Chains A and B, each alone.
Chain A
């Protein structure tokens, strides 16, 4: 017993010695919070390069995206050093409203570096609060060319009837039409964005802003029609059986193993699919079906995350922080970063991806130009959650489109009563 205690005391002290933060050096340090584990390696190199050139130590701290905001909240409350932070569209709106991030409009004079549409989600009242980074994302329906050929689909389906027809042929061969992880509710809003884009004759962004300002209701006809379409997708058995009990990981497996012919998702899936055995020969991307004649089946997407500067940053570090984000979003660094991530379609106007095949080219030419921003970047989290739950239930047949839209409107009404004001 005594020896055990002695050994553990030694371990404790040893661990303490190993673990205590290094003695402060004379160098300035910048702390960067990031939320995308898969980008850690290239990000680390970018930070290190900047650090070397500017004689500063850049500490990159990466967290799983699910828990990112909690850690940030705890750190902010405790007064930890935070200098530069990654934020996605949803969080940035909240953070700008609360004054957590700095206004970058005057500090950065390279706004023309980016595609104008990429700055929109990060701009409020003509003030820029975040700089987009990496690649833009958009959405599409991936499909397995071999399966299509096998079941006799000769022309790619474009409107809903053709999709239904294709689905029937696919099901007859014992394969699921569309793989979808309905259990991971955060994906369902994307389907809504697609239907809503069409039922609003491609004015989904404006309609959403109006609704959140109280000028329109979630029970209006275009919302209701969207939900009716979503209910039809469920009833017409477009998805893999048991879709609401399937996870996104499982849906990817279904698509990769040939058990499902199609997969609707974002362009961020491309890399994973390539690693899983797909290629530009075996796989293609379709546009979302045309539901409402006369509207264009826009894709939904936006820039990835944004670089923002913490508002309470120590003034001695502020300039360094601006320099860092200038460097990180510069064309050369951006191009290199895309190369590392095997991504295409930069948010930077003048960067062409060196990596490209037919699929990537089609994304750039057909999908990216017709992309409307993710609407849940505009919704407050309560509305997003309401949409997630209601869409899932409508697809699963547990509620009707009418009840779903009423439930969402009620959530909004409760929010307004509690003092919610849309921040724009």
Chain B
């Protein structure tokens, strides 16, 4: 294989993809990076202000740090929730069970729905007066309705729950695939040694699944940090800024307060975070393969 020939061929093959990518992703992003160094209201000429926006974000009792904190908390809830649940369900589904395909299809159903639909549905479910959750609690004897999306701490949990609800099915599929790649011989060998189910799980399944777990964790982590749609539809960042996340904050700042420069800065920070997480995952993955 001629090296030079390969580079030329590669160039042609990659040209269409790189053109699309360059025009609609790279160029706008460079524009955003530039904007983060300016103060701009969307109408007048942008004014170059250097690192001022970055300093604004770093303000100790500022809203950005609160958003970052909320996003991290949201990430903890959803990454743990999705992965623990999905792994459990995948393990159960990987055995010979009747109705297996039905369960698998049903679990994936929420993944197919648009977030507009998901927001409308769950806003109703969590409604204090009409909602299902309070209706069930009422039937169980609790007379006082809980304000699910109205209490600062609770709202974030509810929103995290909805996100877990929507995406667990997707992770179940990924974990199922991973479980399938574990050679049967390992289990057969351990059966000869008289190992219990728990021991199997701890000493065979989990270690073999490490790369899969890593992938699922990274996907859910990146998704958590860039969450927007579900919060935008359900709580808009409230109550009392308790569900304000990085991107909802960016949205408010850019489109409600016309500080486009500051909003761009949030995007850059998020991007750096994502790159860092990807890099760490790569390193961990390489170590796991060793």
**Chain A residues packing against B (C-beta within 8 Å):** 69-70, 73, 76-77, 94-95, 98-100, 176, 182-183, 185, 240-247, 250, 253-254, 259, 381-382, 385, 389, 392-393, 396, 398-399
For A382, what are the chain B residues with a Cβ–Cβ distance below 8 Å? 257
B123 touches A247 (CB 8 A): yes
A76 touches B150 (CB 8 A): no
**Chain B residues packing against A (C-beta within 8 Å):** 41-44, 123-124, 126-130, 134, 144-152, 155, 235-236, 238-241, 252, 255-258
For A70, what are the chain B residues with a Cβ–Cβ distance below 8 Å? 255
**In the bound complex, what is the Cα–Cα distance between A392 and B239 (angstroms)?**
7
B238 touches A392 (CB 8 A): yes
Closest chain B residue to A67, Cβ basis: B255
A245 touches B151 (CB 8 A): yes
B257 touches A381 (CB 8 A): yes
Cβ-neighbour of B127 out of A100, A250, A392 (below 8 A): A250
Cβ-neighbour of A250 out of B129, B252, B256 (below 8 A): B129
Cβ-neighbour of A242 out of B43, B145, B238, B257 (below 8 A): B145
Cβ-neighbour of B42 out of A77, A246, A253, A385 (below 8 A): A77
For B145, what are the chain A residues with a Cβ–Cβ distance below 8 Å? 241-242
B43 touches A398 (CB 8 A): no
A381 touches B258 (CB 8 A): yes
A76 touches B239 (CB 8 A): no
Closest chain B residue to A244, Cβ basis: B150
**In the bound complex, what is the Cα–Cα distance between A240 and B238 (angstroms)?**
19
**In the bound complex, what is the Cα–Cα distance between A249 and B232 (angstroms)?**
16
Closest chain A residue to B256, Cβ basis: A381
For B152, what are the chain A residues with a Cβ–Cβ distance below 8 Å? 398
29 residue pairs from A and B, CB less than 8 Å apart: A73-B43, A76-B42, A95-B43, A99-B43, A99-B44, A183-B150, A240-B128, A241-B129, A241-B144, A241-B145, A242-B145, A242-B148, A243-B128, A243-B150, A245-B126, A245-B149, A245-B150, A246-B129, A247-B127, A250-B127, A381-B257, A382-B257, A385-B252, A389-B238, A392-B239, A392-B240, A396-B147, A398-B240, A399-B240
Closest chain B residue to A76, Cβ basis: B43
Task: Say whether chain B's binding surface is mostly helix, strand, loop, or mixed.
Answer: loop
A389 touches B240 (CB 8 A): yes
A182 touches B41 (CB 8 A): no
Give the residue among A99, A244, A396 with the most B Cβ atoms within 10 A.
Answer: A244
Give the residue among A73, A183, A399 with the most B Cβ atoms within 10 A.
Answer: A183
Closest Cβ of chain A to B279, distance in Å, is: 33
B129 touches A254 (CB 8 A): yes
**In the bound complex, what is the Cα–Cα distance between A245 and B155 (angstroms)?**
9
Closest Cβ of chain A to B246, distance in Å, is: 17
For A247, what are the chain B residues with a Cβ–Cβ distance below 8 Å? 123, 127
- Starting from the known contacts A69-B255, A242-B145, 20 additional A-B residue pairs (CB-CB under 8 Å) come to A73-B258, A77-B42, A94-B258, A99-B43, A183-B149, A185-B239, A240-B128, A244-B147, A245-B126, A245-B128, A245-B150, A245-B151, A245-B155, A247-B127, A250-B129, A254-B130, A385-B256, A385-B257, A389-B241, A396-B240
Closest chain A residue to B52, Cβ basis: A418
Cβ-neighbour of A183 out of B44, B238, B241, B252 (below 8 A): B238
The 9 closest A-B pairs by CB, nearest first: A242-B128, A245-B150, A244-B150, A242-B147, A245-B147, A245-B149, A73-B42, A70-B255, A98-B43
Closest Cβ of chain A to B138, distance in Å, is: 11
Cβ-neighbour of A246 out of B43, B127, B144, B255 (below 8 A): B127
Closest Cβ of chain B to A351, distance in Å, is: 34
**In the bound complex, what is the Cα–Cα distance between A411 and B266 (angstroms)?**
20
Closest chain A residue to B127, Cβ basis: A250
For A392, what are the chain B residues with a Cβ–Cβ distance below 8 Å? 238-240
**In the bound complex, what is the Cα–Cα distance between A77 and B241 (angstroms)?**
30
A98 touches B129 (CB 8 A): no
For B257, what are the chain A residues with a Cβ–Cβ distance below 8 Å? 381-382, 385
Cβ-neighbour of B235 out of A183, A241, A242, A246 (below 8 A): A183
A98 touches B41 (CB 8 A): yes
**In the bound complex, what is the Cα–Cα distance between A42 and B239 (angstroms)?**
37
